[in-house]
Structure 1
């Protein structure tokens, strides 16, 4: 007769626990003697009837020590605001949240990511974000006059969806197709014969794994058919990725970097809820274990010390 490990309300794993990442994280916690409380954010909220002011199924009046955010569901503006408000509230209660709402907000909104990259003095392509179409047209025309193309991206997009390459201002999408916001970056032509960029996985202030993504065209997302190649990042590249994650306040992140024809590295994006199943296929390191260890060192340092003492 097997005995299932009891749930540890000290740690909350936000997500449904059914996707590949959720399952691998749950197993990593359990290998360390912790069965986290898996809580979909759509089932959580606020309540004045609990001691914490929060309503998280399975917690009652208990306040967790740590909360790991694997997934925030989509929804209306009001729904997403509530989910992020819940994460803000946990941080206010002294809970270690990875990644917390501030980092998620800064990364989900690409324009805010760009702002923090520039504020930190990190190289990134020339970028414009705004609602005025005339200004967007002017930017694309100016880039074209300089011999450059522009990349139009959804402000809240992910996995390479909705990205378009623009040669003239006439190529701009209508406002309704971009939810009224134009986010435009100068296109970075490939430094090599084919299109490629770097994905570096930063966790706990260091790069723990990296890969080069080779695209069949200029979009190098694994979900869209790009090929992953294991690669060891140079110190320059690793330092750039760590600084990029740090400037948005991310405890763990996937940082996308491209090399221009002049040899310079440019930060394209910082992902605060990165997928790592593609990266896992080209690294021997078990990434879920690495992430969980770093998270527990911050949220439950005594659990790491006990594990080391037993080793």
Structure 2
């Protein structure tokens, strides 16, 4: 039997990819970075660049590049086909779809009774204006988010007296979430990193304005993933079916802890700087554990290519 080969789906060999490659190597596996944009389908099934006509033994999805609706559909289709063929994929494509689509995330969290701010997603601007007006009548603000987006990009806070942008500015969809200011004042929240059913690490993200993403300049401080933060993050990850996730949590002024978002392809460079756990190693071990649990027949079929 040859050396185990793992596909890391990523666009560009960045810091995260190097950490993951080293983590797999420590377990005797070879990691091959490959972009999903270089993959597709042939008469025999999925075609994965870098695997000489065969398939990887398992996959870790680090990033999926943006593209047209058709391009993104193809990339997700490749992940679905790999999973259907018995190749372990983390995160599984269904979980990725639920997290990439913020409306699906909100629905899953609500259905699982995970505490989260009130959220609406509509296409009709008249309906969206009525929702916003009702929030403003309560003296509350709303956060308008891109339905597909991450790293705090494209967020708008709509305070009382402010109107919605034109539909063309939001790709025809209004995803509105009730704005929740942090307890004790200031701008901060928590990111909890969940791996394989356990809260692995956590950090406080403190910003100079209400958007607290690290990519928007927030500072990272160590935090414990235990207790209510860990329990809430685990419930959120389970609600979307994610093997690993970055869960954003805020404590409202009334003391409640609320889940803001669930990220199925989270970065962790800022987190790693303040957390003792080796995130890359935990992810590599997750993927290899999924592979070990897969049937031998599936492994033989993967190598038949």
TM-score (norm 2): 0.92
Aligned length: 293
Query: Which of 30, 35, 46 lines up with 2:30 in the alignment?
Result: 35
Greater length-normalized contact order (CA 8 Å, ≥ 6 residues apart) = 2
Query: Which of 222, 241, 245 lines up with 1:249 in the alignment?
Result: 241
Moved more, 220-229 or 36-45: 36-45
Deviation at 1:9, TM superposition (A): 6.0
Change beyond 3 A, Cα 1:36–1:8: farther
- Mapped to 1, the partners of 2:226 and 2:25 lie a distance apart of 34
Unaligned runs of 5+ in 2: 295-305
Query: Which of 212, 218, 224 lines up with 2:216 in the alignment?
Result: 224
Q: For each residue in 1:100-156, what CA deviation from the matched residue of structure 2 results, as whole angstroms up to 9, or x when unmatched?
A: 110110000000000000010111101110101111111111111111011100110
CA RMSD of aligned residues (A): 1.6
Q: Is residue 280 from structure 1 mapped to residue 272 from structure 2 by the alignment?
A: yes
Q: For each residue in 1:148-203, what CA deviation from the matched residue of structure 2 results, as whole angstroms up to 9, or x when unmatched?
A: 01110011011001101102464312111110000001110221121111100000
Q: Is residue 26 from structure 1 mapped to residue 18 from structure 2 by the alignment?
A: no
- Mapped to 1, the partners of 2:32 and 2:182 lie a distance apart of 45
Deviation at 1:60, TM superposition (A): 4.2
The aligned runs of 1:1-311 (5 Å cut-off) are 8=3, 10-48=5-43, 50=44, 53-168=45-160, 170-300=162-292
Unaligned runs of 5+ in 1: 1-6, 303-311
Counterpart contact for 1:149–1:187, Cα < 8 Å = yes
- Mapped to 1, the partners of 2:217 and 2:49 lie a distance apart of 39
Give the secondary-structure state (helix, strand or coil) at the position aligned to 1:88.
Answer: helix
- Mapped to 2, the partners of 1:147 and 1:234 lie a distance apart of 34
Give the secondary-structure state (helix, strand or coil) at the position aligned to 1:171.
Answer: coil
Change beyond 3 A, Cα 1:28–1:17: farther
